[in-house]
Amino acid sequence: MRKKELTKEEIYRYSRHLLIPEVGIRGQKRLKGAKVLIVGTGGLGSPVSLYLAAAGVGRIGLVDYDLVDESNLQRQIVHSTSTIGVPKVESAKERLLEINPYIEVETYNLLLNRENVMEIIKDYDLIVDGTDNFHTRYLLNDAAYFSGKPLIYGSIFRFDGQVTVFDGKKGPCYRCLYPVPPPPGTVPSCAEGGVFGVLPGVIGALQATEAIKLLLGIGEPLIGKLLLYDALRMEFHTLKIRKDPACPLCGENPSIHELIDYEDFCGREFKPELAEYDLSPKELEELLKRDSPITILDIRNPHEWEICSLPKSIFIPLDELPQRIGELDPTKEYVVICKEGKRSYQALELLLSAGFRVRHLKGGLNAYAKEVNPDFPVY
């Protein structure tokens, strides 16, 4: 970690840090010479990047391949209305340099994978995980372990959050905590399940705290400890987590010695063999115009049904469908719909196995709004 002298302007800017004995001039120089890679510039990456930039971390790398969307702004505070449609890494870079022009921001507008991850992380001191999918989490965990770099993990869902530091040399890794990923589609994303707008701020600030502590070499990092946060009860709990001797990555007899195919390991949500049952939004609209004898089965959650629904559709939430499948008429043909066309694949498989004639709306109601009816609500 390189150290650089502080300018007169930086001394004034960071003066509240310099007054803390545990930081001081020496610590602030360490921050100026530090390099942190943040993967994801969404809910978690927003507060992490803002606070690391404000703290004076000299070089911040941002990895993301998405564009700023209006629905992001409820929680992704590094972006703004003026940057809607802009690549997230560029939107975030602009904001970080507005906060602190004395730092460097490197952007990687790409999808992180096993072909590029080691090259990208090699120049950084530590990695912050701000992602929201399992295959990238396992990828980052393994890459961090092989490169000997700490990984600061955070996750959020609705009102709950988690934070820890994975360091396979000093404590457990992500695989010790979660040996296998959940089946595809069983854990909803924030886009499907929602997230309390301020929750990423809390968890992201905690991740930034751990990053700064590690860079300064102060305090006690969350290695071997999982911090749980419940926003509804305003409660924090800390659980001890231990290195698993049988861990295939960092255990006593590891079986993973290189990066693997993480989409195969985590399971692919889309199954090519089900593509023949896809129905496009425009095809659905044509069937509705012709009064085709199809029945639309909406399998979203009750609070989603209250937001919007298609006329004449019937409603059975996905988690109730196995118990209520007897309510459906096996002589009818069904079109299963959800928000984005992911959960409907699960319902499709269930109904096909039960002998129903069924198709599913590709892309879900959001695709229907985009391609057929722009006045239909998108959420």
Report the catalytic residues: 190, 338
Alpha helices for 63-198 (secondary structure H): 88-99, 117-121, 134-147, 174-177, 190-193
Q: What is the dihedral of CA 40, 43, 46, 51, to 10 degrees?
A: -110
Closest CA to 162 of 105, 229, 243: 229
Q: What's phi and psi for 357, nearest 5 deg? A: -85, 115
Report d(CA 209, CA 195) in Å as an integer.
22
CB 56 within 8 A of CB 4: no
Closest CA to 63 of 80, 84, 42, 38: 38
Q: What residues have CB less than 8 Å from 320, skipping those under 6 apart?
A: none
Place of tokens 């927003």: 46
CB 160 within 8 A of CB 231: yes
What is the C-alpha radius of gyration for the chain, rounded to an integer number of angstroms?
Answer: 23
Beta pairing class for 151-157 and 160-166: antiparallel
